[in-house]
Amino acid sequence: MSEGKGSLKEAELGNQAVNGDAASDIDNAWQFLQENRDVTEASATEEELKALRRKIDWHIVPIMFCCYTMQFLDKVILNYAAVMGIHAELKLQGNDFSNVATFLFVALLAFEVPNIYFLQKVPAAKWLGLNVILWGTATACGAAATNYQTLLVSRVFLGIFEATIAPSLLLISSQWYTKSEAAPRFSFWYLGLGLGQILGGAVSYGFQHIAPGAALSGWRVMFVTLGCLTVAIGLWTILLLPDTPMKASWLSNEEKVKLLKHVSVNQTGIENRKFRPKEILEALMDPQLYLLLLAVILLSVSSGVVTTYSATLIRGIVKDPKRAALMNMPSGAVSIFFTLFVGFAIRRNSNRWLWIICCIIPAIIGGALMSFYSQNRAAALAGIYLVNAVVAPLAVFYNWTAANFGGATKRAFAAALLSGSFSIGNIIGPQTFQARDAPDYRPAKIAVMATQAGCALVTFILFLYYQWQNKKRGAAIESEDSYMAPEVWANMTDRENKKFKYSY
Nearest of 107, 115, 100, 158 to residue 133 by alpha carbon: 158
CATH of domain 48-473+480-489: 1.20.1250.20
**Confidence band (pLDDT; 50, 70, 90) for 55?**
very high
Nearest of 499, 34, 43, 56 to residue 266 by alpha carbon: 499
Which of 28-32, 111-115, 301-305 holds the top average pLDDT?
111-115
Q: Are the CB atoms for 245 and 271 separated by under 8 Å?
A: no
How high is the pLDDT of residue 309? 58
pLDDT tens-digit series, residues 111-137: 887 887 888 788 889 999 999 999 999
More confident residue, 165 or 268: 165
pLDDT tens-digit series, residues 435-484: 666 666 677 777 777 888 899 999 999 999 998 988 887 755 455 455 55
Average pLDDT over residues 302-308: 63
pLDDT tens-digit series, residues 261-282: 777 776 666 666 677 788 889 8
CA torsion sign for 229, 232, 238, 239 is negative
CA distances from 73 to 179, 275, 440 (A): 28, 33, 26
Provide DSSP, 109-148: HHTHHHHHHHHHHS-HHHHHHHHHHHHHHHHHHGGG--SH
**Confidence band (pLDDT; 50, 70, 90) for 16?**
very low
pLDDT tens-digit series, residues 314-369: 766 776 766 766 777 787 888 888 888 887 777 776 788 888 898 889 888 887 88
**Confidence band (pLDDT; 50, 70, 90) for 256?**
confident
**Confidence band (pLDDT; 50, 70, 90) for 199?**
confident
Whole-number percent of the chain with pLDDT over 90: 17
How high is the pLDDT of residue 312? 64
Nearest of 408, 396, 390, 185 to residue 304 by alpha carbon: 390
Displacement of CA 272 from its chain's centroid (Å): 21
**Confidence band (pLDDT; 50, 70, 90) for 231?**
very high
Q: Is the pLDDT of residue 37 over 80?
A: no
Cα 437 to Cα 310: distance, rounded to the nearest angstrom:
16
Worst-scoring range by mean pLDDT, 326-340, 405-419, 426-440? 426-440
**Confidence band (pLDDT; 50, 70, 90) for 416?**
confident
- 489 burial level (CB within 10 Å; 0-12, 13-18, 19+): buried
Confidence (pTM): 0.77
How high is the pLDDT of residue 128? 93
Provide DSSP, 314-356: HHHH---HHHHHHHTHHHHHHHHHHHHHHHHHHHHH--HHHHH
How high is the pLDDT of residue 139? 93
Cα 416 to Cα 85: distance, rounded to the nearest angstrom:
35
Cα 34 to Cα 171: distance, rounded to the nearest angstrom:
23
Other beta carbons within 10 angstroms of residue 197's beta carbon come to 28
**Averaged pLDDT score across all residues of the chain:** 79
Nearest of 343, 300, 329, 335 to residue 431 by alpha carbon: 300
